Amino acid sequence: MLVVMEPTANESEIARIVIRLTDAGCHVSRMGMDQVVLGVEGSPRAGAEDALDAEALLALPGVADVTVGGEEYRLAGERVAKERALVELGRGLTIGGERLVVMAGPCSIEDEESLYAIAAGVADAGAGVLRAGAYKPRTSPYRFQGLGEEGLYLLRKAADAYGLLTVSEVMELDQIPLAAHYCDILQVGARNMYNYPLLRELGRCHRPVLLKRGLSATIGEWLSAAEYIMACGNRKVLLCERGIRTYEPATRNTLDLSAVPAVRARSQLPILADPSHGTGRRDHVLPMARAAIAAGADGLLVEAHVEPDRAVSDAAQTISTEALGQLVQQVHRIAEALDRWVFADSG
């Protein structure tokens, strides 16, 4: 059972509920800052069942909602039937509405010169957000691990020069304040979707979080990961399908586009697709980008570079900035058929 408190509930109102439930023999987990959510587990002692009566709890001061049953992702799925979440990314750019957001850039921040050239190409293509990693989760420890803070600084400068927002990955708790200082959106990579301490800390941060689907995560596990961030106070979560691991070796991962309508049916949160990691092949990025938008995605995360073959990481799946321009044009035409639009400068 979950007891969702009003944002205005005071400590004594919260304590009253906690004491009522623990006195009845249940275990209570408290989550959230501005709006507290109490997770209730265990059966009440004989004779104390009334303490858990949903109607009685709802009647108590400070209680906004009571959910009985195994709803694992109450906040990540709460307004699904009523409205889709519109998440403000910064500088007036929102995601989740009629406008689609394209986030593009190199896998890794490599050096100032290439990053500026890529940022120019990304802005030219009509994308609104510059993506690039400063902390890279590489499979081999001997591979380039990213430029760290220097990279984040370059990312901010290059994005500002071309009026773009920024998204970059965080892998560890102590990277969050630094990344939040330099970036508009913080990314959780596929390998960290199950890193609950990281998700909790991002829940205490004020930046939107782009949460990639884990390599073998079910949609339920992915939405529960979003719930960690939201229950800790940060409701600005974007989901990103980036391919799952299957038996098929022809592509790096299998981009599960059925996840797009499946998520939309279960959650109000914006959903993006990453056709770069989702296929691992440059020549597959454009068709899968088109398909993702046709399937209802709210945006795309694409790896692009001015010299894709020379990209330090993920070169095989990185498209040129010219190809990105074509991608945005084509995606825009598909979007129009769905009464949506994509260009950064049209609104």
**Would you tell me how many other CB atoms lie within 10 Å of the CB of residue 335?**
21
Which one, 98 or 307, has the nearer CB to Mn ion? 307
107 near ligand PEP (CB under 6 A): yes
Say if CB 44 and CB 36 are below 8 A apart. Answer: no
Candidate residues 128, 133, 203, 275; the one interacting with ligand PEP per rule CB under 6 A: 133
305 near ligand PEP (CB under 6 A): no
Give the separation between CA 3 and CA 59, rounded to whole angstroms.
12
Residues from 63 through 122 that contact Mn ion (CB under 5 A): 107
277 near ligand PEP (CB under 6 A): yes
Which one, 99 or 212, has the nearer CB to Mn ion? 212
292 near ligand PEP (CB under 6 A): no
**318, two tokens:** 């990185």
Which one, 131 or 207, has the nearer CB to Mn ion? 131
Smallest gap from Cβ 276 to ligand PEP, in A, equals 8
Which one, 204 or 245, has the nearer CB to Mn ion? 245
Q: SS3 for 212?
A: strand
Residues from 135 through 194 that contact ligand PEP (CB under 6 A): 137, 189-191
Buried b (16+ CB within 10 A) or exposed e, 188-223: bbbebbbbeebbbbbbebebbbbbbbbbebebeebb
Smallest gap from Cβ 252 to ligand PEP, in A, equals 9
164 near Mn ion (CB under 5 A): no
**69, two tokens:** 């049953």
Give the separation between CA 70 and CA 38, rounded to whole angstroms.
14
Smallest gap from Cβ 193 to ligand PEP, in A, equals 8
Residue 66's alpha-carbon distances to 27, 210, 220, in angstroms, are 16, 28, 21
Candidate residues 20, 99, 207, 212; the one interacting with ligand PEP per rule CB under 6 A: 212
